[in-house]
Structure 1
Amino acid sequence: MTTGLDTTRSSSGTEDTPASSFGSSVYGGRPTFAMTRREGANGGAVTLYELLPEEQAAARRDRLERHGRSLTVKSFEDLFEDSSSEEVPQWDWDGWTAVKIARLDGGRFRALSSLIQETIDNAELDAATVISSGAGDLFLPEAVGVRLALAFRGIKPLQRVDRMRALCRGVAQMGDEECYYWHAKCRAPSSPNGEKALRTLLTDHL
């Protein structure tokens, strides 16, 4: 699928650049996204978070609130204190937060599960932690989190299964830099229609 946004890609990389090249070197290589799986009323529910220092999360929340939008920010410690993930003791998380991107369950989670599996497998991580039953936490490198954030944001308001699947296929076929472009557009305070534009691009042919 061609999304027609080749002109938004910079010359610093290509579509087949490995995810590790887009890692969070500014934070010393630590993961900057995390996904949790919990059992809920509709079965398994997965939530995607972006991990940010407190001051950055607060600044982003303030910018969004000035534009009439909200942001859910949780303490890293409160959310992951009891996590068995090896990433928790590996890094110093003092002063870090988890910014909620979206929580999905039921049909939306089922529609998204193949993209989650493929994206995580490509990063050589264990997708079973969040795909299989039970509770689990999985910490993700930046490029993986950015791609999944697009799918989580885009699929949330959709009702039709064919549109959900089309959106997931479109996100799966994007190059890393195109994902970064749309990720920035979807979360920018000055671009309130970014998510709608993404859904239009990937599902309006149906």
Structure 2
Amino acid sequence: MKGVICGEESQSYFYFAGPFFYSKPVSGLEAFVSILIDTRAAGERVAGTEAICFDIFDLTAWSQRSQQSEKDVKQFWLNRYQSKRQFQQYVQKAALPKVNARPLMVDTDGVARIELPYQQQEQPAVYLLAASGETGTQEFLPMVFFMPKEFPSETLALYGKYQEQQPAETVEEPKKLVNKPSKEKQLPQTNEVSNNVLLGGLLLALIGGMGLAYQKQKQEEK
């Protein structure tokens, strides 16, 4: 396996692309196929992809165990994507063997080249390519591709796509509630008696008593 490498691994999304090739029969498990990954969009470099890298995983054994068609395998992995971190964790959980020791780096033209084994598990291989290292607003969507049934005589060219990076979700903290004193008039509790009411009652009782005493005195004088 040959290719230009860069220093660090990171997380990735995925996209499924089909190769363009001519083919002829070949025998032997040690045959390698030249792979070209073109990261340009309409022939132009995409800003922020100068240091883009790829991790390549062997998906052959997984595909055999799943017993799904090529279309269903691609759809399955498409449905696994929720976020870069979540997708990387799923790849790790699936225990997919990594084919390249270090991430594969693009050249100054935005093209990455590598030679991959034509067969894995004694059949045409299936590979997952996961991109990383984008520094702009666009991210390269990873690819899943199947080796052709017949050995290709020329380089397989893979063309991926980009999507706008999704902004990180922000969670607003709930506002703290402050208990403010009420401006409404506070009523006394049922077991409390207003001082004003008590004094008023005593005064009325005193006046009433004086009135009764006066009337009694008048009656005695008669």
> More relative contact order in 1 or in 2 (CA 8 Å, sep 6+)?
2
Fold match (TM-score > 0.5): no
Q: What TM-score results when the alignment is normalised by the length of structure 2? A: 0.24
In terms of fraction of residues, the more helix-rich structure is: 1
TM-score scaled by length of structure 1: 0.25
